Amino acid sequence: MAESESSASVLPIDPSVIVHRRNDSSDFFDAMEVIYYDDILQQAQETTATATAAESSSSSSISSSEDHEFARDGLLKEDENKGTNNFHVRGRARHHRIKLRELAQEQRKILEHKIHTRRIKLKQLVREPGIVMTMDKISFVCGVLTIMIIEAVILLAPERMATLYTALLIPLLILRYIIYRADQQHYFMYDFCYYAQLMMMIHIYKYPNNIPLGKAMFSISNGPLLLAIVMWRNSLVFHSMDKMTSMFIHILPALVTFCRRWESHLVNRTFPYYEEIDGTIINIGNDFLWTPFFYYVLWQTFYLIKTEVVSKGKLDYNTEIMTSLRWLTRKKDSASYKLLSIFGEHNQLPTFVLIQALYTVITFVVVPLLWHSIWLHVLYLAVIFVIALANGATYYFHVFAKRYLEEIGKRVSEVKIENKAIE
């Protein structure tokens, strides 16, 4: 009797009872059952196996062969019923999984549509004339004030230039990423100029006394990074946050290295025409050419791995994501497209890599002269700054003024029409 009571207390659990059979339930709740079904089914199967073992042990104590056969037949039928029930439960679970997948896809489409709609509304709101004019005014004031602050720091506290650089760079890069991400231009931020900002931050806060790294950053900042203002026609357009950000990204590292290199001269107000060249030609080449070029090659390797291996499928699928190469080759009649296609359109990428490498090496040549003469360095920075000013003046008088004159002309025409109507 004890054994019979023990076996009765461990009755097998029918899995079909566990899964709720609600004919009036919605598809959503039916699909949700799949989330916890697998664990419950596994527990049910383990309990069934335990109960079967207990029943087998109990049946062995029956003395009568007829009772034994009867018990065995009952267990076999019960096993058959369990197998049938398990088959139905698995089919129901498979059906629910399909429903859950369909619901997930539907919810994803709804969410993507909502995000797309909100993005369009946000763009429309930002482009309203009143908001655009207000943002332009704020940007103009901030741009002029920033130039004044930079000048004051260089003249009065050159040792604080790195701190000012950090305070300006971080919010500008965050804002740029947000804007570029919305416009699918965020892959521009994998370019060498942003990599140089990272290296500058590492040099300032991690290895400030590392002389080889300092000379390499001097070469990178005053070579390819600063001359990119000329190559990419960066301009001082104070009301444009985007143009001022590009300008600061390319010129601020050069100003930081200028202050770090000539800090003692600026503080003591001593400005020699030149300093004696220290080291041999080989040492100068290593410091200002090969070491910085090594950092450039390191960036180029990471960039190609990112765009041509890791994110290649993403870039091929979404052709609206803009990269530097796509930007330069977006118009087939442009000079940049013709230059990059000089070895054929299928070789635009290697041609682009080769041209960038040659440009970088060439811009390193003038850097040793800047390292040994504060006057040459000041003149060099002044020329680049004047070019940026000229680019800004061209924008204001050829683009901005033209729009302004068109608006004035439109208003004059409206006044003439009103005067004729009065007459």
Residue pair 388/229 in contact by the 8 Å Cβ criterion: yes
pLDDT tops 90 at residue 43? no
Share of the chain above pLDDT 70, in %: 73
More confident site: 6 or 292 = 292
CA distances to 127, 182, 282 from 123, in Å = 6, 9, 55
pLDDT tops 80 at residue 86? no
The C-alpha angle with vertex 140 and arms to 139 and 143, in degrees rounded to 5, equals 80
Q: State how far the Cα of 14 lies from the Cα of 80, in Å rounded to an integer.
A: 12
Q: For the chain, which residues make up each domain, given as ranges?
A: 2-122, 160-410
Residues 6+ away with beta carbon under 8 Å from 340: 325, 328, 329, 348, 351, 352, 355
Q: State how far the Cα of 250 lies from the Cα of 238, in Å rounded to an integer.
A: 16
Please give the single-letter amino acid code of residue 387: I
pLDDT band, residue 27 (cuts 50/70/90): very low
Nearest-10 Cα torsion for 34, 38, 39, 44: 110
Residue among 86, 72, 71 nearest 14 (CA): 86
pLDDT tops 50 at residue 3? no
Lowest mean pLDDT among 22-36, 40-54, 337-351, 406-420: 22-36
Angle between helices 27-59 and 2-9 (to 10 degrees): 160
Residue pair 293/403 in contact by the 8 Å Cβ criterion: no
Q: State how far the Cα of 94 lies from the Cα of 163, in Å rounded to an integer.
A: 61
pLDDT band, residue 219 (cuts 50/70/90): very high
- Which pLDDT does position 57 carry in this prediction? 54
Q: State how far the Cα of 377 lies from the Cα of 369, in Å rounded to an integer.
A: 8
How many helical (H) and strand (E) elements, i.e. helices and strands, does the chain have?
Answer: 20, 0
271-300 residue pLDDT tens: 888 888 777 889 999 999 999 999 999 999
pLDDT band, residue 195 (cuts 50/70/90): very high
- Which pLDDT does position 42 carry in this prediction? 58
pLDDT tops 70 at residue 125? no
Residue among 308, 325, 320 nearest 182 (CA): 320
| Sole residue written with tokens 């040792």 | 159
Residue among 294, 330, 295, 324 nearest 307 (CA): 324
